[in-house]
Structure 1
Amino acid sequence: MKKLFVFLATLFMSIQILAVDFKPFEQASFDAALQTNKPVLVDVYADWCPTCKRQLSILEPMLQEEQFNDYSVFKVDYDQQKEVLKRFNVTRQSTLILFNEGKELRRGIAETNESRLRQFITVSE
């Protein structure tokens, strides 16, 4: 029983380490992530938005895949972070903005198709 507990605890910790988590948007953290020259995804999200919830249900498991381990992901609260929306020139919730090598690569609005979301967040080498 003790071995099983140790195994499960180790497995849980491993999963947590590999997980890309959606961090609340903070300018300093975002700026630091951009400086790494690795992909950064910004998700403009509203709790009441069904499209946002659908995007999240697709993106969360997708971002756990090994190819996305280097990504930093930030959530901008559409209802609470209006100044951030202005800085990014965003007018709608369910907006995704992908940065790579410190620059905006692309943005999309209201996409909920899994294959198109995968294509959107994938950065070609």
Structure 2
Amino acid sequence: MKSNFSTIIDSEKPVLIDFFADWCGPCKTLSPILKEVKDELGDTIKIVKINVDKNQPLASKYQVRGVPTMILFKKGQQLWRQSGVLQKNDIISIINSHQ
């Protein structure tokens, strides 16, 4: 995943990374919200879920201390990050402000 990750976040379109864990309740709440975001924004955004338990070096590199943590990248640059669950309209608003 590590070598592939740089390619993923180096995209021209925004990439929202969702760092999650299987045992995390709020992560389970966020998952359908992110699906709604993807359904609404379509191809203008890429959403990638990364399991912190299976990708610990990556989670450590981006200093993910709690889950869920979302980080928005564009052209390899981190534009925004937040831990916790946000509502669909809040996430869409943040993504649109970085288009």
**Same structural fold, with TM-score higher than 0.5 when normalized by the shorter chain:** yes
* TM-score bracket relative to the smaller structure: 0.7 to 0.9
Identity level (%): 26
- Runs of 4+ off more than 4 Å: none
Bigger relative contact order, structure 1 or 2 (CA pairs below 8 A, ≥6 apart): 2
Structure 2 gaps, min length 5: none
One of 47, 67, 70 as aligned partner of 1:96? 70
- Paired residues in the alignment total 99
Deviations 1:32-71 (A, max 9, x none): 2233322111111111211111111111122022x34142
TM-score, normalising length from structure 1? Answer: 0.68
Structure 1 gaps, min length 5: 1-25
Shift of 1:123: 4.2
Deviations 1:11-43 (A, max 9, x none): xxxxxxxxxxxxxxx223322223332211111
The CA distance in 1 between the partners of 2:74 and 2:90, in whole Å, is 18
TM-score, normalising length from structure 2? Answer: 0.83
The CA distance in 2 between the partners of 1:34 and 1:61, in whole Å, is 21
> What's the RMSD between the two structures over aligned residues?
1.8
